């Protein structure tokens, strides 16, 4: 089972002060910075594009973990690679060919993640797990931070961990100390958290709580 990594999602941070957000995350010990990219088509919400990642880049030491909740990921991959992404995760429910998306992300020298929404079975990504560096199991419906954890997703984490003991399995949505324990026991190792971390007085202590 790979090491536990905390990926701080900026979605529910103070978006009027991304420089301060990046500094808080660096100081907290969270290894990754999670960018929730939404296009208003794949999900109703719209967040930010590659120009925001580019703006944050010089102010953060964290690994840049981009989560594309977009209908047409192939249009965004190169833009986010040029803006400094270290990992790009796309959704199997989007309009791309997963093999082609993974190949393009690898061609650009980045880590590739493939994601499933809560209602999508693991069978939908089975053919692509080997080629991907990470699987993102959404533990809420994509679109907004601050939602409640969906417990039925735990089985999917267990299924993927059973397929590959070393694959990075990321979870995203409703992650706090209580749900972090559940997902880690199920086999997840990359914990995306926004609300719990950015509401904390002491983010470093909150990161430690998530690690268990």
Candidate segments 20-28, 34-42, 43-51, 57-65, binder of Zn ion by CB under 5 A: 34-42
Q: Quick one: 152 or 166, whose CB is closer to ligand DX5?
A: 152
Provide, rounded to whole angstroms, the least separation between the CB of residue 167 and ligand DX5: 20
What long-range pairs does 41-49 form, CB within 8 A, spacing at least 24? 41/70, 41/71, 41/72, 42/69, 42/70, 42/71, 42/91, 42/93, 42/94, 42/142, 43/69, 43/142, 43/143, 44/143, 45/143, 45/144, 47/11, 49/76, 49/79
Q: Quick one: 98 or 194, whose CB is closer to ligand DX5?
A: 194
Q: Which residues bind ligand DX5 (CB under 6 A)?
A: 9, 11-12, 34, 36, 67, 69, 140, 142-147, 172-175, 192-196
- Is 65 a binding residue for Zn ion by CB under 5 A? The answer is no
Provide, rounded to whole angstroms, the least separation between the CB of residue 198 and ligand DX5: 8
Q: Is 202 exposed, middle or buried (0-12, 13-18, 19+ CB in 10 A)?
A: exposed
Partner from Zn ion, ligand DX5, none binding residue 145, C-beta < 5-8 Å depending on class: ligand DX5
Helix (H/G/I), strand (E/B), else coil: 90: strand
Q: Could you list the active site residues? A: 36, 172
Q: Quick one: 19 or 199, whose CB is closer to ligand DX5?
A: 199
Query: What are 64's two structure tokens?
Result: 């840049």
């Amino acid at each position: 089972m790979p090491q536990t990594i905390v990926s701080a999602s900026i979605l529910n941070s103070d978006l009027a002060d991304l420089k301060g957000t990046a500094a808080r995350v660096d100081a907290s010990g969270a290894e990754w910075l999670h960018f929730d990219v939404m296009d208003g088509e794949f999900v109703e919400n719209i967040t930010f594009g590659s120009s925001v990642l580019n703006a944050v880049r010089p102010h953060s030491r964290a690994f840049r973990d981009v989560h594309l909740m977009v209908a047409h990921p192939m249009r965004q991959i190169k833009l986010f690679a040029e803006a400094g992404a270290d990992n790009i995760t796309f959704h199997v429910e989007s309009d791309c060919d997963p093999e082609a998306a993974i190949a393009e992300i690898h061609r650009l020298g980045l880590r590739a993640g493939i994601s499933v929404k809560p209602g999508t079975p693991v069978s939908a990504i089975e053919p692509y797990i080997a080629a991907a560096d990470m699987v993102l199991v959404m533990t809420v419906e994509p679109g907004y931070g601050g939602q409640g954890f969906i417990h039925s997703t735990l089985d999917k984490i267990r299924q993927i961990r059973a397929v590959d003991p070393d694959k990075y399995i990321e979870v995203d949505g409703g992650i706090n100390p209580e749900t972090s324990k559940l997902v880690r026991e199920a086999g997840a190792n990359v914990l995306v958290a926004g609300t719990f971390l950015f509401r904390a007085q002491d983010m470093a202590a909150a990161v430690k709580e998530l690690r268990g």
